Amino acid sequence: MPELPEVETTMRGLTPALKNRKLVKVIKRRDKIRIPVPEDFVKRLEGRKIIRLERRAKYLRFFLDSEDVIICHLGMSGKFIISDKNEDPFAKHDHIIFETDDEKQIIYNDPRRFGLMTLCTVDELDDHKLFKDMAAEPLGNEFSGVYLREKIKAKKVTIKAALLDQKVVVGLGNIYVCEALNKAHISPLRKACDISADETEILVPIIRDILLNAIEAGGSSLKDFAGANGDLGYFQHQFVTYGREGENCINHGCVGIITRINQGGRSTFYCPVCQK
């Protein structure tokens, strides 16, 4: 599933094609992706201008001049494709198509249909069920060592599970949590409540640096992900632990071997020697 860097990369790729562009035509080829697409989706969008785009956690949000907001989640295999307007037939899994006033097509394609596309108004956004319980953004000023320690100090789950909890910090996924815990020398098996304040002060900037580096690299392309311009991400070439089972740990002075275990149905990669 695309994680925060991949969604941020998608948002940045879409912004030049959609910001300040009028939607002259909207084509809804499916009534339901993961959830039903609103019945009045086309009516509310056609003729409106997109004034800005943003990412919140792993969601894309497109703000219209009508005070409506398009909300999109990429799910497992969703992606946007930017192309010139043409008369070629759409592909089987092209579900939503936006045609802009500069004759571009922005196509939402999702073979596995675990993504979503819905609408709300600006006034409804903060209390929307998708966002109302979300915690701080890991790249925002609110996210700090003190903040993280406060969020996890009473949690009996593992630190790995806590960092994946959207009520602790949003947008972190399996890949980047594995990478961050390795660089912070923290075992994913430790209980969150046992992580000290000193350790959260170390962990938070590591998380931020990893995410920023991943965004700079265009995210990680493992299976389905490609940016809106079709480019693949390259951060997978910088992985220090994820997907490296059986390989040497590359942390300075460490002689450990990367191990894979299962936690909550997800693969966790870590070094049992230097991650304590």
- Band (pLDDT 50/70/90 cuts) for residue 237 is low
Instruction: Note the pLDDT of residue 239.
Output: 85
* 74-91 pLDDT per residue, tens: 998 899 999 988 767 899
- Whether residue 12 is found in the same domain as residue 57: yes
The single-letter DSSP state of residue 38 is: P
Catalytic residues: 2-3, 58, 266
Instruction: Note the pLDDT of residue 95.
Output: 96
Question: What token pair was written down for 235?
Answer: 């951060």
- Whether residue 120 is found in the same domain as residue 222: no
Q: How many domains does the chain have?
A: 2
- Whether residue 152 is found in the same domain as residue 261: yes
- Whether residue 151 is found in the same domain as residue 266: yes
Instruction: Give the neighbor-by-neighbor strand order of the sheet with 59-64.
Output: 79-84, 104-109, 94-100, 21-28, 49-56, 59-64, 68-73, 116-121
Contacts of 107 (CB under 8 A, 6+ apart): 80, 81, 82, 83, 90, 94, 96, 97, 98
The single-letter DSSP state of residue 236 is: G
Could you tell me if residue 136 is inside a domain? Answer: no
* CATH label of the domain that carries residue 74: 3.20.190.10
Asked whether residue 231 carries a pLDDT value surpassing 60, the answer given is no
- Whether residue 202 is found in the same domain as residue 96: no
Asked whether residue 2 carries a pLDDT value surpassing 90, the answer given is no
> Which H/E stretch holds residue 145?
helix 145-152
Model pTM? 0.90
- Whether residue 158 is found in the same domain as residue 215: yes
Asked whether residue 193 carries a pLDDT value surpassing 80, the answer given is yes
- Whether residue 184 is found in the same domain as residue 244: yes
Asked whether residue 220 carries a pLDDT value surpassing 70, the answer given is no
* CATH label of the domain that carries residue 190: 1.10.8.50
* 22-73 pLDDT per residue, tens: 999 999 999 999 999 999 999 999 999 999 999 999 999 999 999 999 999 9
- Whether residue 182 is found in the same domain as residue 80: no
Give residue 178's domain range: 145-270
Tell me if residue 224 falls in helix, strand or coil: coil
Instruction: Note the pLDDT of residue 89.
Output: 81
- Whether residue 89 is found in the same domain as residue 174: no
Q: In this prediction, what percent of the chain has a pLDDT beyond 70? A: 92
- Whether residue 228 is found in the same domain as residue 154: yes
